[in-house]
Structure 1
Amino acid sequence: MNKPAFTFPGQGSQAVGMGRDLADSFAEARAVFEEVDDALGLKLSAIMFDGPEDTLRLTENAQPALMAASIAVVRVLDARGVKVAEAASHVAGHSLGEYSALCAAGTFSLSDTARLLQIRGRAMQQAVPVGQGAMAALLGLDMDVVKEIAAEAAQGEVCDVANDNSPGQVVVSGNLAAIDRAIEIAKARGARRALALPVSAPFHCALMAPAAEAMREALGNVDMKAPSVPLVANVLARPISDTQEIRTRLVEQVTGMVRWTESVSWLAKEAGVTELYELGTGKVLTGLAKRIDPALSGQAVGTAQDIEAFIAARG
């Protein structure tokens, strides 16, 4: 039987209360949250557990928070004999989740990952003044049509395809007016729904170039080890293990498209993966997996109860 792949959620999965029951149940989880708090010089765990929601939702907090919750699960599993290097064939993460995946696979230390994501979150937020950028989900259209819509909507501004999440769920990102045009064009082209997303910045588009430069500098100053299992990279939708290439692709990822549909399809068709386990907060990627390939079985492992069930199922 083929080994499963471990996936790691991205921004939007955060929620007040995240990680609390892990901290209440497991010393390993508490240690993760304490180390992240220390690395950031910020009581991030208190914001995760108690809010307020608008503080948690800030990109510079949401990104390390989601990573911390994922790594808390990883460390609890590891202490119970489920080690990433032995249990998984590959890791993959959605946008910031790529950093969680790399931390889980030993490429970055936990403290370095937390600091990198705080830098990434701040840089992405500062790249575009609030109110000048937007993102929109275009539902029920295939990728080729969305690319045509983005090109038509741009009119000299930025309108890029940001996320290919699953068949019929594609996100565009760019200047506010261009995204507004894309929504209207998509409706006229028969989209099931076309709606602006409640995000604070236009991620994964050309407007994020200043943030990409900030990450190039930050990643150049951090220790990296080859991952214990290959990472299926967002911008390539194929596995990589070389640290220099990982660094390059993480920089590209800031402005590049998250090719999630292709990444999951690669795992299923090329690597023969039949099971995906989403480690961390929420169930977004588990839901997407079924839409991408109905033959995949997906399971979210984010709570103490999920962990106990996962361990029990492995016998």
Structure 2
Amino acid sequence: MKLGFLYAGQGSQHPGMGADLYEAYPAFREVLDQAAAQVDFDLKQVSFTDPDGVLTQTRYTQPCMVAFAAGVTALLREKGIVPAVAAGLSLGEYSALHAAGVFDAATAVKLVAFRGKAMEQAAADRESAMVAVLNLDRAPLQEACDAASDLGCVVICNYNCPGQLVIGGDKAAVEKAAAIAKEKGARRCLPLKVSGPFHTPLMAPAGDALADYFKTVTFAEPQIPVLFNCLGDVKDDTVTIPELLVKQVQSSVFMEDSIRTMASMGVDAIVEIGPGKALSGFVKKTVPQVPVTAVETAADVEDLAETLKELVKENEQ
């Protein structure tokens, strides 16, 4: 069976994520223990209980999420469940690259720990905002952004799925663009609780910091196709993975395009590796013909094995 793995991005984190998996599965536990040794805080405590309420802060969120994803990937691999193609939303792209063999789990966690701090620093002392815009097409929303650009930077930073786009940038410009979007027919404009204008040109300082840091990292060739956020597709030989990751942090995320590309590659099913089920919702709205299953808990792991068995039986009939 040909599977596509989709890895969740920042925003779906919550205290308790991975706690039951850590207790139940040695494969998950081993990865998380290795990941915890790569950071300067108690990764397991923050992930499992978050007593100080810091999990929503970017510098903590990113390594915790990637450690969780790497642990689930290792656990599924142990059960013979592996991807034929991988992608991830923003932060999740690092987990997809890990799944493809570009770097090991420890390196992935160190990379995103650095990335999280760089993104926080880029967003510091800047009044910014991100807003989800529902039920408005790309073209009129782009017109709204263009019309509001006199107040600062505002761009479409996430193309999530049909009917759900996200704009971000300077707060005043984003608010003006959202108001214009409503005039153009958007059903709702929902402010997002984020700590910075992610995937906008305002993140250029984080991109510069990553470019320097990547010079110290070895990137192996992917063993499976990876669909990149800023392309919505696989890369060609004219660009490197580090270049795409530098671009990713300050450019739009084409999640809908990536999902469509994954479906066009003939996957029989898509597995979302959480926490959360946001990407499963995107898949259902974008390629409803492709079955999708979210994996976050120990129960989900066992259910996935059974679900895949049933899909195999259906395909054989």
Same fold by TM (over 0.5)? Answer: yes
Quote the offset at 1:255 in angstroms.
Answer: 0.7
What SS does structure 2 have at the residue aligned with 1:155? helix
Partner of 1:55: 54
Moved more, 138-147 or 235-244: 235-244
Output the amino acid matched with 1:298: V
How much has 1:313 moved relative to structure 2? 3.6
What is the alpha-carbon distance in structure 2 between the residues aligned to residue 254 and residue 49 of structure 1?
27
1:133-148 matches, cutoff 5 A: 133-148=128-143
Superposed counterparts of 1:24-39, under 5 Å: 24-39=23-38
Query: Could you tell me which of 212, 223, 227 is aligned with 1:232?
Result: 227
Contact 1:149 1:185 in 2 (8 A): yes
Partner-residue secondary structure (3-state), 1:264: helix
Letter of the 1:217 counterpart: D
Instruction: Note if contact 1:11-1:96 (Cα within 8 Å) is conserved in structure 2.
Output: yes
**Residue number among 245, 267, 276 corresponding to 1:282 in the alignment:** 276
TM-score under structure 1 normalisation?
A: 0.94
1:10 counterpart = 2:5: no
Amino acid at match of 1:303: T
Provide the rounded CA distance (Å) in 1 between the counterparts of 2:298 and 2:99. Answer: 18
1:232-311 → structure 2 map (5 Å cutoff): 232-240=227-235, 245-269=240-264, 271-311=265-305
Which secondary structure does the structure 2 equivalent of 1:40 belong to?
A: coil
Q: Is the 8 A contact 2:12 2:274 kept in 1?
A: no
* Aligned partner of residue 160 in structure 1, secondary structure: strand
Amino acid at match of 1:230: P
Quote how far apart the aligned CAs of 1:273 are. 2.3
Q: Give a deviation string over 1:231-266, Cα, whole Å, max 9, x none.
A: 001111111386962111111001110000111111
- Residue 6 of structure 1 aligns to a residue in which SS? strand
Aligned to 1:196: 191
Normalising by structure 2, we get a TM-score of: 0.93
Aligned residue identity for 1:309? D
> Would the aligned equivalents of 1:224 and 1:243 in 2 still touch at CA under 8 Å?
no
Q: Distance in 2 between matches of 1:167 and 1:37?
A: 38
Cα distance in 2 between the residues matched to 1:296 and 1:169: 19
Q: How does 1:152-171 map to 2 (within 5 A)?
A: 152-155=147-150, 157-171=152-166
* Post-superposition offset of 1:188: 1.5
The answer to whether the Cα contact below 8 Å between 2:219 and 2:241 also exists between their aligned partners in 1 is no
Looking at structure 2, the residues matched to 10 and 68 of structure 1 have their Cα atoms a distance apart, in angstroms, of: 12
Counterpart of 1:92 in structure 2 is 87
Q: How does 1:216-227 map to 2 (within 5 A)?
A: 216-227=211-222
Q: Cα RMSD (Å) of the superposition? A: 1.6
The residue matched to 2:247 in structure 1 has which SS? helix
The one-letter code of the counterpart of 1:122 is: K
CA distance in 2, matches of 1:63, 1:115: 10
Is this contact kept in 2: 1:203–1:254, CA < 8 A? yes
After TM superposition, where is structure 1 displaced by more than 4 Å over at least 4 residues in a row?
241-244
Residues 9 and 278, structure 1, Cα contact 8 Å, conserved in 2: yes
| Structure 2 residues not aligned, in runs of 5+ | 310-317
| Secondary structure, counterpart of 2:190 in structure 1 | strand
Once the two structures are overlaid, the 10-residue window that deviates more, 272-281 or 178-187, is 272-281
- Deviation for aligned residue 1:171: 0.4
Maintained 8 Å contact 1:226/1:241: no
CA distance in 1, matches of 2:273, 2:86: 10
**Number of equivalences:** 309
Relative to structure 2, which stretch is displaced further, 171-180 or 152-161?
Answer: 152-161
AA matched with 1:128: A
Q: Percent identity?
A: 38
TM-superposed CA distance for 1:200, in Å, is: 0.7
Distance in 1 (alpha carbons) for counterparts of 2:177 and 2:191: 10
Q: Aligned partners of 2:179 and 2:77: how far apart in 1?
A: 48
Alpha-carbon shift at residue 163 of structure 1 (Å): 0.3
* CA distances 1:92-148 after superposition (whole Å, capped 9, x unpaired): 000000001111221112111111111111111111224511111111101111111
Residue identity matched to 2:29: R
Matching residue within 145, 155, 159 for 1:150: 145
Deviation, 1:272, is 2.1
